[in-house]
Amino acid sequence: MERARFHGAAVPTKRWSRTWGVSLLHQTFETAGLAPPRTSVAGRGSALVTLRWDLPRGLFVMATTAARVLVFARQRGNEAESSTAAAPVLQFRLGLGKWF
């Protein structure tokens, strides 16, 4: 991203990105019965929008919004069959950084 200035005031630079990947999910359960831990693989996709404001002395402030989806196999109890489930997540981040 390039620095953008308008009449001496910081103007945010905007960046859009998409990511895809694989995650490893590990589940543990607390129950009165027997429920062993379970590990499964999940696919994930994300769309991100990042705004960054450059400050003096190489500092910057950024805000990111991410929409994520995890897709994984869901199994109920001791059933042999599983179904596919999707878990949407909306994430917000604020940050302060320094360029070196």
Whole-angstrom distance, CA of residue 71 vs CA of residue 38: 16
Q: If you count DSSP H runs as helices and E runs as strands, how many of each does the chain have, helices first?
A: 0, 6
- CB-based contacts of 78, cutoff 8 Å, min separation 6: none
Percent of the chain at pLDDT exceeding 90: 44
Q: Distance between CA atoms of 96 and 58, rounded to whole angstroms?
A: 11
Position with higher pLDDT, 94 vs 41 = 94
Vertex 76: Cα angle to 79 and 42 (nearest 5): 110
- pLDDT (mean) for 55-82: 86
d(CA 63, CA 92): 7
